[in-house]
Structure 1
Amino acid sequence: MRRIELGVFMPVGTNGFLMSTTAPQYHPSFALQRKIATLAEEIGFDFLFSMGKWMGFGGESGFWQKTIEPVVMSSALASITSRIKLFATINPLLLHPVVAAKMIATADEISNGRFGINIVTGNTLEELEQMGVVPQDYGTIRYDYADEWLTVVKQLWSQERCNHSGRFFQLSNCVCDPKPIQRPYPTIVSAGLSDEGLQFAARHSDYQFVGARPEKVLEVKAVAAARGRTVKASGNMLIVQGDTDEQALKRFNHIVAGRDEAAFSNLIESFERDQRDSSADRTSFLRNPRMVGFGTGAPLIGSAITIAEKLADIIVTADFDAMQLTFIDFVEDLRSFGQEIYPRLKSSLATYGVSLGEGPASVIKAGAHA
């Protein structure tokens, strides 16, 4: 029976992923992340996924003005959980590969082999340019840089000593010891959906995050298959639950009514300054007046029965291997999901011959490199 993994996209930035003044307003404290992590593990979720952000987009809601660093946070969560897997986002520009290899190996030991990384080459270049770390012509070389960076990291994880002379890095007799618990490497996720991003995933990744783009799933798998590898696809959905479909829609409309136009304007301007080809598509997407967040995934609105049936259909029809969820209220809605949707989703998936994790004993397979 085919198995899919379910995760929580952790709200490590101000107000989670909702850019609305009528959504819950909160800062991303560790206490909140801890509560979500322990609840998700209790319900039976398979993984926690954390983004890395270095600037916010302001507006009346102060969207992402405060963020928690994901590697440190995930390592801390690893020490208070026992089963659930933890993914932290890393941008290769911000960490030397020797430092990154050691940090990740340490986190893998803390978690007893439950740590994974999500490699990004830049969401908006503006947040990297403010640090003065962006090389000339980075937009055209970013995947070359990431490829060499990750190649070096893998060598450090798998070899006694690393000697490397490349375009971007020169290492002489470098060591990463102890090695990660997961062999040959911790699980690797990537998120770029450009042609270069898909090729990068095909070379290096276990999972490719496609967000709310189910049409990309088959492409991700086909590109990897052409290289003789298997790469799994992970999606993203916003769960908007109500006692009835009508109540859930009313709840969503309340969030839409508070759409933070100033924050959206700042985000759109940031993308427009980025000359990469994908920016135009993202800008058009963000201008939709019913778009209430960034990183939320597509909204799935309805009662517990409706959401369970629709989510199962989306997972099976698009051939997703994993799905990470966001919520309006990450504690109360997650609790409701566990009580009312999770068992129904498990039952709905079973009718398609698909299992939802394995309850408390399940984890995403570590280091599943083909």
Structure 2
Amino acid sequence: MHRDIAMIAEDVGLDYLFWMGKWMGFGGATGFWQNTIEPMSMASAIAPLTSRLKLFTTINPLLFHPAVAAKIISTIDNISGGRFGINIVTGNTLEELEQMGVVPEGYGDYRYEYADEWIRVMKMLWTQGRSTFEGRFFKLDNCVSDPKPLSKPYPGIVSAGLSSEGLRFAAKHSDYQFVGLRPAEVARVREFAAEEGRTVKVVTSMMLLHGESDAAAEQEFAAIRDDLDTEALENLIHSFERDNRDSYKDRTSYLRQPNTVGFGSGMPVIGAPDTMAQKLAELIVESGIDGIQFTFVDFVKDLKFFGTVVLPKLKALLARHDIVVADAPAARAAA
């Protein structure tokens, strides 16, 4: 299925594929997230089958020493011809890592300091012949890492932390930062990046639910909502609530909304093609977002429908606002 998704995404002109990194499920009748792929392995398999798509995978710094991660990431970047990038997740649902016994005591209080040192070490390894480093968490002694990535100066970096610490991390290191659709959130990311003398593309995630008509889409949405696995959702919320960052309440309150289904920022965008294109155009214009990552119920069927039917309508609407759907990795939409 992943191959089919990648082929469709390339055919309809989308920019990237993005894989989560999940290491355990959250129970319930559906076994939510019980069976998931390891994303970097999948990216290395999909890379030779594609020619243009960017490939982003999720990685937690606790699972890979930076020298090991640098080598793996550089390898996939070379396989893909310079199309690989990483999504750095420092915490979120820590039970996934606690079950492995790899979470240090007090990690929640310093996880962005850990991630900052981790990515700084990798950037050294990607750009220097030999690297010597001694920090709080890592020590390198004349360390070698070859081959270097094809992407210069290094592969793309994505993050999604909404706490002040998470936004500061993104301002220093990330090329793309995931937030919600509130204009204030978008502006805050850009302000933090400007303080670092950088620019960061601001993106969001949104679930799409298509229908031949608005009524058909609403009917399908109601059926999905009525069949919601509430036990799995409560388990996920409980995991989020263990986070000690100032952003966790926003995430859990969103998950508790009665119309929340699927994965994305807020209620899914629902409707017939014209309705969906209009709603998406309004969201993009009003929020000032740089890009949207899309998720679907049926990625193969729905992605093809979106790319061939909805996307041309969306482009035409955005053109009226002088918004061009460009060929940069996060400027369009993604599967």
Q: Secondary structure at the match of 1:324?
A: strand
CA contact (8 A) 2:263 2:295 kept: no
Q: Secondary structure at the match of 2:239?
A: helix
How much has 1:290 moved relative to structure 2?
A: 2.2
For 1:247 and 1:215, how far apart are their aligned partners in 2?
34
Equivalent residue for 1:251? 220
For 1:50 and 1:212, how far apart are their aligned partners in 2?
21
Q: Secondary structure at the match of 1:353?
A: coil
Query: Is 1:170 aligned with 2:139?
Result: yes
Cα deviation, 1:67-89, whole Å, max 9, x if unaligned, reads: 10111111111110000101011
After TM superposition, list the pairs within 5 Å mapping 1:34-53 onto structure 2: 34-53=3-22
Equivalent residue for 2:252? 283
Query: Is 1:233 aligned with 2:202?
Result: yes
Match of 1:130 among 85, 88, 99: 99
For 1:78 and 1:212, how far apart are their aligned partners in 2?
31
Query: Is 1:336 aligned with 2:291?
Result: no
**With CA pairs under 8 Å and 6+ residues apart, which has the higher RCO, 1 or 2?**
1
Cα deviation, 1:89-119, whole Å, max 9, x if unaligned, reads: 1110110000000001001101001001111
For 1:69 and 1:116, how far apart are their aligned partners in 2?
15
Q: Secondary structure at the match of 2:303?
A: helix
Report sequence identity in percent: 59
Query: Is 1:183 aligned with 2:152?
Result: yes
CA contact (8 A) 1:296 1:326 kept: no
After TM superposition, list the pairs within 5 Å mapping 1:221-370 onto structure 2: 221-295=190-264, 298-358=267-327, 363=329
CA contact (8 A) 2:76 2:84 kept: yes
Name the stretch that deviates more: 90-99 or 202-211. 202-211
CA contact (8 A) 2:181 2:289 kept: no
Q: Secondary structure at the match of 1:254?
A: helix
CA contact (8 A) 1:84 1:114 kept: yes
Equivalent residue for 1:149? 118
Q: Secondary structure at the match of 1:357?
A: coil
CA contact (8 A) 2:254 2:266 kept: no
Q: Secondary structure at the match of 1:331?
A: helix
How much has 1:264 moved relative to structure 2?
A: 1.1
Q: Structure 1 residues 308 and 295, CA, compared in 2 at 3 Å: closer, same or farther?
A: closer
Cα deviation, 1:215-253, whole Å, max 9, x if unaligned, reads: 411110111012211011011111111111121111111
How much has 1:296 moved relative to structure 2?
A: 6.6
Q: Structure 1 residues 63 and 213, CA, compared in 2 at 3 Å: closer, same or farther?
A: farther
For 2:91 and 2:17, how far apart are their aligned partners in 1?
21
TM-score (norm 1): 0.86
CA contact (8 A) 1:203 1:224 kept: yes
Equivalent residue for 1:72? 41
Residue type matched to 2:231 in 1?
Answer: A
For 1:109 and 1:213, how far apart are their aligned partners in 2?
37
Name the stretch that deviates more: 293-302 or 217-226. 293-302
For 1:211 and 1:42, how far apart are their aligned partners in 2?
28
CA contact (8 A) 2:92 2:243 kept: no
How much has 1:271 moved relative to structure 2?
A: 2.3
Residue type matched to 1:313 in 2?
Answer: E
What is the RMSD of the two structures over their aligned residues, measured on CA atoms? 1.6
Equivalent residue for 2:31? 62
For 2:23 and 2:316, how far apart are their aligned partners in 1?
40
Q: Secondary structure at the match of 1:240?
A: strand
Query: Is 1:114 aligned with 2:83?
Result: yes
CA contact (8 A) 2:127 2:148 kept: yes
Query: Is 1:90 aligned with 2:92?
Result: no
Cα deviation, 1:28-66, whole Å, max 9, x if unaligned, reads: xxxx11111110110000011111111111111111001
How much has 1:298 moved relative to structure 2?
A: 3.5
TM-score (norm 2): 0.95
Name the stretch that deviates more: 159-168 or 309-318. 309-318
For 1:294 and 1:129, how far apart are their aligned partners in 2?
24
Q: Secondary structure at the match of 1:101?
A: helix
CA contact (8 A) 2:131 2:142 kept: yes
CA contact (8 A) 2:163 2:245 kept: no
Residue type matched to 1:181 in 2?
Answer: L
CA contact (8 A) 1:212 1:298 kept: no
CA contact (8 A) 1:212 1:236 kept: no
Cα deviation, 1:258-281, whole Å, max 9, x if unaligned, reads: 011111121122223344333333
Q: Give the total of aligned pairs.
A: 331
Q: Structure 1 residues 60 and 214, CA, compared in 2 at 3 Å: closer, same or farther?
A: farther
Residue type matched to 2:18 in 1?
Answer: F
How much has 1:295 moved relative to structure 2?
A: 4.4
